[in-house]
Amino acid sequence: MLKLTLILLLLAIPIGFSACDTAYITAMDKMGYAKRDLLSSRVKSARDAQADAKKDIQDALDQFGQVVAYQGGDLEATYKKLKSELQNSEDSAETVRNRIEAVENVADSLFSEWKAELGQYSNGDLRRKSEAKLSQTKARYHDMLAAMKRAEQRIDPVLKPLRDQVLYLKHNLNARALAAMKGELVKVDAQVDQLVREMNRSIAEADKFIQTMEKEPA
């Protein structure tokens, strides 16, 4: 019961700050929660965060389109909804960054420990097998992480023009300003399409990595 309580308390600790996260990883490891399992869990969280960010950004783009295509009604309410959707996207983007950082923290700890343990083998054949498995796991991890980072790096270039438009509209909420934004909508739409493709690739890489980690024995 005490162990379960400690785990729940540790899970409630925010992750994303390296020093605190290192202590968190160490504590979880001492309680029998393997770094390998923690890595798999964090990759799932990062994958889910990217899926959420993708949806929030698409919603923000849809709302931007509704503002630009304004045909009458409560323009102030439409603008406020766009501002809210943008904030959701900003929050999701921050979550994605934090989750990727959390993945890197536990992966670095796992691979460092794994490499150090190679020197403890007295059986050369087992050491070589473990070394080969470490190399394969790191290669798959780096492919997955690269895909995540490519997708994450496309988020801000999408959000920047949306931020600019929302800021401009704050003091220029009129038909002329909206008409001038139609060209920007086309550009942002194309950027979102590219972002969605990158995120779909990243999510697929994460799924593949998770399946491999869960299929193989520790």
Handedness of CA 46, 49, 54, 60 (dihedral sign): negative
Q: What is the mean pLDDT of residues 86-102?
A: 96
Q: What is the dihedral of CA 113, 118, 120, 126, to 10 degrees?
A: 130
Q: What is the pLDDT of residues 104-154, one digit of tens each?
A: 999 999 999 999 999 999 999 999 999 999 999 999 999 999 999 999 999
Residues 6+ apart with CB under 8 A from 110: 35, 36, 38, 39
Look at residue 152 and tell me if it is in a domain: yes
Q: Is residue 11 part of a domain?
A: no
Residue 92's domain comprises 31-215
Q: Count how many domains the chain has.
A: 1
* Predicted TM-score (pTM) of this structure: 0.85
Instruction: Give the pLDDT band of residue 28 (cuts 50, 70, 90).
Output: confident
Torsions phi, psi for 35 (to 5 deg): -60, -35
Q: Tell me, yes or no, whether 6 lies in a domain.
A: no
Mean pLDDT of 181-207: 94
Would 77 be classed as within a structural domain? yes
Q: How many CB atoms lie within 10 A of CB 13?
A: 12
Instruction: Give a yes or no: residue 24 inside a domain.
Output: no
For 156-179, what is each residue's pLDDT tens digit?
Answer: 999 999 999 999 888 888 878 888
Residue 174 lies in a domain: yes
Answer yes or no: is 26 within a domain: no
Q: Is residue 1 part of a domain?
A: no
Q: What is the model's pLDDT at position 71?
A: 75
CA distance 118 to 131: 7
Please give the full DSSP string across the chain, using - where no structure is assigned.
Answer: -HHHHHHHHHHTS----HHHHHHHHHHHHHTT--HHHHHHHHHHHHHHHHHHHHHHHHHHHHHHHHHHT--SS-HHHHHHHHHHHHHHHHHHHHHHHHHHHHHHHHHHHHHHHHHHHGGG-S-HHHHHHHHHHHHHHHHHHHHHHHHHHHHHHTHHHHHHHHHHHHHHHHT--SHHHHHTTHHHHHHHHHHHHHHHHHHHHHHHHHHHHHHHHHHS--
Buried/exposed 114-141: b ≥16 CB within 10 Å, e otherwise: beeeeeeeeeeeeeeebeeebeebeeeb
